[in-house]
Chains A and B, each alone.
Chain A
Amino acid sequence: GENVEQHPSTLSVQEGDSAVIKCTYSDSASNYFPWYKQELGKGPQLIIDIRSNVGEKKDQRIAVTLNKTAKHFSLHITETQPEDSAVYFCAASSSSASKIIFGSGTRLSIRP
């Protein structure tokens, strides 16, 4: 089955700097890669996703890149702000599967 590894587990960056979180997956059949943000006391919320027919996707300060050959995908947050502090999860699934497999999470802290 699919296995998703996520690094780093914690990340602290200065406000205004960029943050990068990296994930790898094991199943070459996976073709959907979402990223979720979880704030304290809330459930995870989808912030961006990418499918395997696209190498990069951007939404304002957030971008995701995918390298299918290496089975790597990454989340990039630019011009970080205090409200970006949260736990971020990457995930992978295939369109034929009924489940999404999550990485172990990255706790991002933005230093003022």
Chain B
Amino acid sequence: ETGVTQTPRHLVMGMTNKKSLKCEQHLGHNAMYWYKQSAKKPLELMFVYNFKEQTENNSVPSRFSPECPNSSHLFLHLHTLQPEDSALYLCASSHGAGTGDEKLFFGSGTQLSVL
């Protein structure tokens, strides 16, 4: 275990559904990240939160909506997704983005299938 827990591990949803991915870190870190992993782009950064503030949005479509209520929890709210959004969604944490200590600790991911 890396100290970063993601739920659910697997999710199948229709294009009209609304679902949320959850990530929790038990490492005392201040930065949390969402990455998308697919065959086309193996590790694509989506969002960065540093001390609960969003510091990076890598041109992600608005059908993905992140939420970071505190430094330990990160959510990714999904609505009206497309089949091409099917991928492994990975959460990660680090001591603090831009602090010089960029070691990332990843969760095991949520495998998302959009039908």
Contact = CB atoms under 8 A, between A and B. Distances in A.
Contacts of A105: 42-43
Contact of A98 (B2, B55, B92, B109): B55
Interface residues of B, number: 27
Q: How would you classify the secondary structure of chain B's contact residues: helix, strand, loop or mixed? A: loop
Most chain-B CB neighbours within 10 Å: which of A43, A46, A95? A43
Contact of B43 (A46, A49, A89, A93): A89
A99 interface: yes
Interface residues of A, number: 24
A61 interface: no
Interface stretch (B12-20, B69-77, B97-105): B97-105
A87 B37 CA distance: 13
B98 A43 contact: no
Given A32-B102, A98-B48, A99-B45, 18 more contacts: A32-B100, A34-B103, A43-B4, A43-B92, A43-B106, A43-B109, A46-B105, A87-B42, A89-B42, A95-B99, A95-B100, A98-B50, A98-B55, A98-B98, A99-B33, A99-B48, A100-B102, A104-B42
B56 A98 contact: yes
Contacts of A98: 31, 48, 50, 55-56, 97-98
